[in-house]
């Protein structure tokens, strides 16, 4: 196991998402796809969204890598469907704050299962793993917004 020491309940939740990832599949009707890699750790994901009327109608991903990167993106996708693009961006910012040590963000229930990753903020090399999914999301939101204006 390559995970840092985390609170054991949180650790279980991370492993549970890693072993049984949510929304891990190719999305046939995607409107945006972003490939994101973290070469330091060997993590890789392709995030696929179907954006309709400024809302995320569906979110799926395919990828491989460490438990933290894959669990984080799995957790993230469970929170995206039905969210407006602005709201999804706010979630990404909140999660990023938590990964940079914000105690306030770590208590925010809107982050759902993602709060299990708060301990990762103490391990600088792993922060990139945890942020991979949201980095892809922010890129996808930029692309999605851009395409909607055409
Ligand atoms: Zn990793």
Pairing between β-strand 43-52 and β-strand 55-64 as defined by DSSP bridges: antiparallel
CATH code for the domain of 46: 3.90.1010.10
Tell me if 44 sits within 8 A of 20, measured CB to CB.
no
Mean pLDDT of 125-133: 97
- Residue 1, pLDDT above cutoff 50: no
CA of 92 to the centre of ligand 1 (A): 18
- Using the 8-state DSSP alphabet, how is residue 44 labeled? E
CA dihedral 76, 91, 44, 52 (to 10 degrees): 80
Mean pLDDT of 107-131: 95
- Residue 123, pLDDT above cutoff 60: yes
Cα end-to-end distance, the chain, whole Å: 46
CA of 41 to the centre of ligand 1 (A): 5
Mean pLDDT of 42-56: 97
Rg (the chain; Cα; Å)? 14
Number of folded domains in the chain? 1
CA of 69 to the centre of ligand 1 (A): 5
CA of 148 to the centre of ligand 1 (A): 32
Write down the pLDDT at residue 145: 81
pLDDT mean across residues, the chain: 93
Mean pLDDT of 109-120: 95
Which residues span the domain enclosing 143? Answer: 4-148
pTM of the prediction?
A: 0.92
Neighbours of ion ligand 1 (CB under 5 A): 41, 43, 66, 69, 129
CA of 129 to the centre of ligand 1 (A): 4
- Residue 3, pLDDT above cutoff 90: no
Tell me if 10 sits within 8 A of 113, measured CB to CB.
no
């Amino acid at each position: 196991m390559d995970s840092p020491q985390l609170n054991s309940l949180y650790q279980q939740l991370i492993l549970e998402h890693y072993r049984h990832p949510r929304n891990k599949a190719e999305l046939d009707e995607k409107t945006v796809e972003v490939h994101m890699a973290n070469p330091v750790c060997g993590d890789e994901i392709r995030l696929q969204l179907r954006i309709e009327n400024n809302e995320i109608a569906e979110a799926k991903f395919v990828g491989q890598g460490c438990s933290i990167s894959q669990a984080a993106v799995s957790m993230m996708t469970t929170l995206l469907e039905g969210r407006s693009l602005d709201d999804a961006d706010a979630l990404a910012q909140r999660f990023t704050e938590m990964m940079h040590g914000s105690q306030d963000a770590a208590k925010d229930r809107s982050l759902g299962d993602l709060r299990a990753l708060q301990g990762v903020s103490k391990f600088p090399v792993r922060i990139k793993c945890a942020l991979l999914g949201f980095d892809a999301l922010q890129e996808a939101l930029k692309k999605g917004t851009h395409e909607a204006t055409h």
